[in-house]
């Protein structure tokens, strides 16, 4: 039986069809390996030695340091998202982020760069004539000539010019993934070429703008979206750079019928949850209406629609949560931070809490008191309760943030039960350890008292006195029962009395070293 070819209309016999199928299978195997996608390459599990990952081995060495692309936000060599509606200003804000890493300027009051070096911005929608204009506006804002130029401007400008690389790619084929038939998508030669381009260039950050141009598949496909983030993680591992993708919001966030904050959540991103679930950091940028800007920032006077924006950080894996930051759009598109009144109050409260914590840790260290854990700070509510808006949780969170940013340190010591515990310290190498219980040793009985009862009994202050000595009225008086239980009333030779006193001293925990450690 002959079957017509759907393209040419020419009838094909069974043998021709089989030949065509085998040729296609051979082609697929050449691309993806025999047996399907990924079957031609050795998986990571074939190379693993489980002994290298036992807890004993992982804890044998010092903890590896954490390096952040931006301080306390987005670990290096991780993948993050910048989400926002079209026309919000994501692309210009991404340039600000790129500039912060390239030269240390661009995100004052928003984020602080944790690394410094080369940045590659892949501008998938931008015309080649637009990029130089944006860069000029950005440089003029960050590094103005004449009055206001500081002493570091020359070196920062040199880094800006050398480290910031922006490639306009409108109209180019940019898909990093492709999918032909059922199964998982596979990387394209575009991805391979991108890895080769970036490898060995000492890049600290790669910006992909926008994600839709480079992804190119169904955004509602969770499997494909997870694979997309996976290959970006491979790009990060191959190049040593962090990857930031610009992405759009969904229809619900676009409408904002319940206010702008609906667009600030992690679920506001468009498409499958595989995107937001797989990345380690996410920022959401949304414009405010004039009324929202007046309410949030306590502004008066005329306000243009879209003049003010809100930036949220709905996902901050491995770092502390971050508050919403409000931005103002200047002429030319540059975004600068503005502070809401409640944020000013919050920062003042945070500073007061940190000052109290540092003072308390120093006080315990200088006075020889027991060192404090983070949870111990909650016990002193009578001291911090007058700081506005302060709670036990807020005090503990402030201490954790202080440890992360180096304002405080933790040292590991054994507590009274022998369990290893992290105590707060003002120094990484001079730990404030828990105060040890005092140790008492029994002094030798006076020779003049050898013929008397040579029993040594501690008073309330821990001072050892013989039972014969006259007690002060405020000292502990041992009961007759205790004397009769510990020391027999039968007469003994003076030497034996002295020996019994030594034996009692050696046997009593109060006499031989204090409380158990």
In this predicted model, what pLDDT tens digit does every residue of 344-402 receive, in sequence order? 777 788 889 999 999 999 999 899 888 999 999 988 998 998 888 788 998 998 898 88
Nearest Cα to Cα of residue 259 among 292, 300, 303: 292
Query: Interhelix angle for 392-405 vs 341-366, to 10°?
Result: 80
242 and 262 within one domain = yes
- CATH code of 197's domain: 3.40.50.300
- Which of the residue ranges 462-466, 485-489, 506-510 would you say has the lowest mean pLDDT? 506-510
Q: Give yes or no: residues 321 and 409 share one domain.
A: no
Residue 373: predicted pLDDT: 92
Domain that holds residue 138: 68-339
Residue 61 lies in a domain: no
122 and 248 housed in the same domain: yes
Q: pTM of this prediction?
A: 0.64
Number of folded domains that form the chain: 4
Is 442 among the domain residues?
Answer: no
- What is the mean predicted confidence (pLDDT) over 490-513? 41
Spatial contact of 85 and 287, defined as CB atoms under 8 Å apart? yes
Sequence-separated (6 or more) residues with CB below 8 Å from residue 463: none
On whether both 369 and 417 belong to a single domain, the answer is yes
Comparing 76-85, 492-501, 506-515, the range with the smallest average pLDDT is 506-515
Q: Do 335 and 349 share a domain, yes or no?
A: no
33 or 237, which is more confident? 237
Q: Would 59 be classed as within a structural domain?
A: no
Give pLDDT tens digits for 21-33.
767 666 555 555 4
Same domain, 372 and 323: no
- 243 and 178 in a common domain: yes
Residue 267 sits in the same domain as residue 354: no
Distance CA 152, CA 105 (A): 11
In a domain, 35, yes or no: yes
* 234 and 331 co-located in one domain: yes
Give the pLDDT of residue 105: 94
pLDDT averaged over every residue in the chain = 81
**Shared-domain flag, residues 201 and 253:** yes
371 and 252 within one domain: no
Residue 358 lies in a domain: yes
In a domain, 432, yes or no: no
* Shared-domain flag, residues 374 and 402: yes
Measured N-to-C along each axis, helices 90-103 and 153-163 cross at an angle, to the nearest 10 degrees, of: 120
In a domain, 385, yes or no: yes
Collapsed DSSP state (helix, strand, coil) of residue 286: strand
DSSP state of 379: G
In Å, how far from its chain's centre is CA 162?
29
Three-state SS across 346-378? Answer: HHHHHHHHHHHHHHHHHHHHHCCCCCCCCHHHH
> Would you say residue 54 lies in a domain?
no
């Amino acid at each position: 039986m002959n079957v017509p070819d759907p393209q040419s209309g020419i009838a094909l016999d069974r043998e021709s069809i089989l030949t065509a199928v085998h040729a296609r299978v051979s082609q697929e195997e050449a691309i993806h390996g025999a047996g399907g996608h990924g079957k031609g390459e050795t998986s990571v599990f074939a190379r693993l030695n489980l002994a290298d990952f036992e807890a004993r081995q992982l804890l044998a060495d010092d903890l590896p340091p954490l390096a952040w692309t931006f301080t306390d936000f987005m670990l290096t060599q991780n993948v993050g998202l910048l989400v926002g509606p079209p026309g919000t200003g994501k692309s210009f804000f991404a340039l600000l982020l790129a500039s912060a890493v390239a030269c240390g300027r661009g995100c004052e009051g928003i984020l602080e760069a944790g690394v410094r070096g080369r940045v590659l911005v892949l501008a998938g929608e931008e015309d080649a004539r637009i990029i130089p204009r944006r860069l000029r506006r950005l440089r003029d804002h960050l590094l103005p000539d004449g009055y206001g130029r500081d002493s570091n401007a020359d070196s920062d400008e040199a880094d800006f010019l050398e480290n910031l690389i922006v490639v306009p790619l409108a109209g180019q084929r940019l898909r990093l993934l492709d999918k032909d038939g059922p199964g998982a998508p596979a990387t394209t030669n575009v991805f391979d070429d991108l890895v080769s381009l970036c490898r060995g260039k000492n890049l600290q950050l790669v910006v992909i703008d926008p994600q839709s141009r480079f992804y190119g598949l169904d955004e509602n496909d969770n499997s494909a979206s997870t694979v997309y983030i996976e290959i970006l993680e491979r790009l990060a591992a191959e190049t040593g750079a962090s990857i930031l993708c610009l992405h759009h919001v969904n229809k619900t966030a676009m409408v904002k019928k319940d206010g702008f904050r609906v667009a600030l959540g992690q679920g506001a991103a468009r498409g499958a949850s595989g995107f937001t679930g797989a990345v380690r950091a996410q920022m959401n940028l949304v414009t405010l209406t004039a009324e929202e800007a007046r309410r949030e920032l306590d502004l008066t006077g005329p306000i243009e629609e879209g003049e003010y924006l809100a930036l949220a950080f709905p996902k901050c894996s491995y770092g502390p949560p971050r508050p919403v930051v409000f931005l103002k759009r200047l002429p030319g598109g540059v975004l600068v931070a503005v502070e809401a009144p409640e944020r000013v109050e919050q920062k003042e409260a945070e500073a007061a809490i940190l000052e109290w914590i540092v003072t308390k840790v120093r006080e315990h260290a200088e006075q020889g008191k027991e060192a404090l854990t983070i949870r111990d700070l909650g016990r002193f509510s009578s001291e911090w309760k007058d700081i506005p808006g302060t709670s036990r949780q807020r005090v503990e969170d402030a201490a954790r943030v202080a440890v992360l940013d180096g304002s405080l340190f933790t040292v590991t010591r054994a507590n009274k039960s022998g369990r290893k515990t992290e105590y707060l310290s003002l120094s990484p190498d001079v730990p404030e350890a828990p105060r040890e219980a005092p140790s008492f040793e029994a002094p030798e009985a006076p020779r003049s008292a050898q013929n008397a009862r040579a029993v040594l009994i501690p008073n309330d202050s821990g001072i050892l006195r013989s039972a014969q000595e006259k007690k002060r009225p405020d000292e502990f008086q041992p009961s007759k029962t205790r004397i009769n239980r510990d020391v027999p009333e039968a007469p003994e030779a003076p030497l034996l009395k002295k020996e019994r006193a030594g034996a009692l001293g050696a046997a009593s925990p109060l006499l031989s070293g204090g409380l158990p450690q």
